Amino acid sequence: MTGPGGIFAARVITPRVAVNAAVLVGLALVPVYAGLAGDPFLLTLITRVIILALAALSLNLIMGFGGMVSFGHAAYLGIGGYAVGILAKEGIGSGFVQWPVAVAASALYALVVGALSLRTRGVYFIMITLAFAQMIYYVAIGLDRYGGDDGLTIRTPSQFGGLIDLNNKMLFYYLCFALLLAAIYLVWRIVNSRFGMVIRGARSNERRMRAIGFPTFRYKLVCFVIAGAMCGLAGALLANHTSFISPAMMHWTRSGDLIVMAVLGGMHAMFGPLIGALVFLLLEEGLSHVTDYPDLILGPLLLLVAIYVHGGIDALLFGARRG
């Protein structure tokens, strides 16, 4: 058998790669298992995990790699979701319209928020992104035509001209999964590009990056917009998944959830947000079966991770990584 220095010595298959690959294979097999075991709820749960992993991944692009801690990321979920919901209610059911509008609206919002917020630093940046998200939250509450506080049920999912039927839960799952994989690949490409080097450089020492001659504000703004657009897509998926949109999906505690997922998984790891979303949501679900008071355990667990684990689950499993 492969002794010490076997396959792991090849430096291609590190333990991290092995675990990530196992997670991906596991996720790819979920619909098969759910079909065999006759457990449609599992498929629903993991679909949710994958969609929120996409949102957490987009947050991690700016937060983990760019050092921009956005405390209003759930706003993009809402904007993407409301784009689908509002268009559906107005009789435009085509996903070819709904999804691009969701992405474009989120990108536009990110452009405005980013342009205004990136002038501030540190805690002020956290707070101003929170403030903008609160504004969008209250805009949604004021949309009486689209349910106001109570939200809006979406009667038919996005139509793709017979190409993909989103009513097929398994198909929808694989679509979300494929989009997540594409997004992880995109983030990986971005982070390792020249553009990504500038973003990471600006995180560790912005003044120096500017002194070298990089207009860091513009780079960060573009990064902020990419992340917003990506999360808007997650919002469109989420609206199709739950067939329901409401202001609650933009409540500030939802933004907190996304931060928790990204930090829990490990912010400097490409698969961190996925692992974080998986662990957080499964823990939440699992604990609610065991006890009537799940947060009594979940809360202190998050606190312990914050206190004792630097670098989230990724660091816990594979040791801290450089950079």
Residue of 23, 139, 164, 186 that binds another protein (CB under 8 A): 139
293 binds another protein (CB under 8 A): yes
Residue of 45, 298, 315, 316 that binds another protein (CB under 8 A): 298
128 binds another protein (CB under 8 A): yes
* Cβ nearer to another protein, comparing 81 with 276: 276
- CA of 232: how far to CAs of 44, 76, 188, 238, 305, in Å? 20, 5, 19, 10, 29
218 binds another protein (CB under 8 A): no
- CA of 235: how far to CAs of 23, 85, 103, 113, in Å? 23, 10, 9, 18
Q: What is the footprint of another protein within residues 243-282 (CB under 8 A)?
A: 252-253, 256, 259-260, 263-264, 267
Q: Tell me the site size for another protein, rule CB under 8 A.
A: 47
Amino acid letter, 91 = G
**Which residue's entry shows tokens 């494929």?**
178
Question: Own/partner pairs for 134-141, CB < 8 Å, 24+ apart?
Answer: 134/72, 134/252, 136/72, 136/75, 136/78, 136/79, 136/109, 136/250, 137/75, 137/78, 137/247, 137/250, 137/251, 137/252, 138/247, 140/78, 140/82, 140/246, 140/247, 140/250, 141/247
Residue of 32, 303, 317, 320 that binds another protein (CB under 8 A): 303
Amino acid letter, 105 = A
Stretch that binds another protein, among 11-19, 74-82, 234-242, 296-304 (CB under 8 A): 296-304
* Cβ nearer to another protein, comparing 24 with 108: 108
* Cβ nearer to another protein, comparing 282 with 303: 303
* Cβ nearer to another protein, comparing 124 with 188: 124
Stretch that binds another protein, among 51-59, 95-103, 141-149, 211-219 (CB under 8 A): 141-149
Are residues 258 and 59 in contact, defined by beta-carbon separation less than 8 angstroms?
Answer: yes
319 binds another protein (CB under 8 A): no
The Cα–Cα gap between 265 and 281 comes to 12
Residue of 13, 299, 317, 319 that binds another protein (CB under 8 A): 299
Q: What is the footprint of another protein within residues 5-64 (CB under 8 A)?
A: 63
Q: Whole-number minimum distance, CB 250 to another protein, in Å? A: 13
Are residues 60 and 268 in contact, defined by beta-carbon separation less than 8 angstroms?
Answer: no
Question: Own/partner pairs for 33-40, CB < 8 Å, 24+ apart?
Answer: 35/170, 40/169
The Cα–Cα gap between 261 and 314 comes to 12
Residue of 22, 182, 296, 317 that binds another protein (CB under 8 A): 296
Question: What is the binding site for another protein (CB under 8 A)?
Answer: 63, 69, 71, 116-117, 119-124, 126-128, 130-132, 134-135, 138-139, 141-144, 148, 252-253, 256, 259-260, 263-264, 267, 293-296, 298-303, 305-307
